[in-house]
């Protein structure tokens, strides 16, 4: 999911207060903190690993291993759920901060108004 903003220096009170060096740094920071599609991929890869190990039958070698494996799967699901929630919160906070720097003009297209 990407947000596009037409950058208009004249619409930003924050840029009016910043020095050229601060403006450049702020633009770079906004670009580097923009949410990406990679944020939750590690957790889903871990789920893929668990599924692959399950397919091999690692979890069936003993009762102890099966219990341990069930614990791993539960922990991964908890992490995926937490990551999803954090991702939503991160995106909302990012849009709010970006909206402060680059306020939308009337008629701009964009995502939900969480700003």
Tens-of-pLDDT digits for all 115 residues of the chain?
444 444 454 457 777 888 889 888 888 888 888 887 777 777 788 888 888 888 888 888 889 988 998 999 999 999 889 988 998 999 999 999 998 888 875 544 454 454 4
Question: Chain-centre distance of CA 113, in angstroms?
Answer: 18
What is the sign, positive or negative, of the torsion defined by CA atoms of 52, 53, 54, 57? positive
Distance from the Cα of residue 100 to its chain's centroid: 19
Tell me the domain boundaries of the chain: 9-101
pTM exceeds 0.85: no
């Amino acid at each position: 999911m990407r947000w596009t903003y037409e950058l208009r220096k004249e619409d930003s009170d924050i840029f009016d207060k910043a020095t050229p060096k601060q403006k450049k740094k702020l633009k770079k920071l906004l670009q580097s903190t923009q949410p990406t599609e990679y944020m939750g991929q590690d957790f889903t890869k871990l789920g893929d690993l668990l599924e692959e190990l399950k397919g091999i039958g690692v979890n069936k070698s003993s009762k102890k291993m099966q219990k341990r494996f069930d614990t791993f799967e539960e922990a991964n699901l908890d992490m995926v759920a937490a990551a999803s929630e954090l991702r939503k919160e991160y995106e909302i906070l990012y849009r709010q901060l970006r909206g402060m720097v680059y306020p939308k003009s009337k008629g701009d297209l964009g995502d939900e108004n969480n700003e």
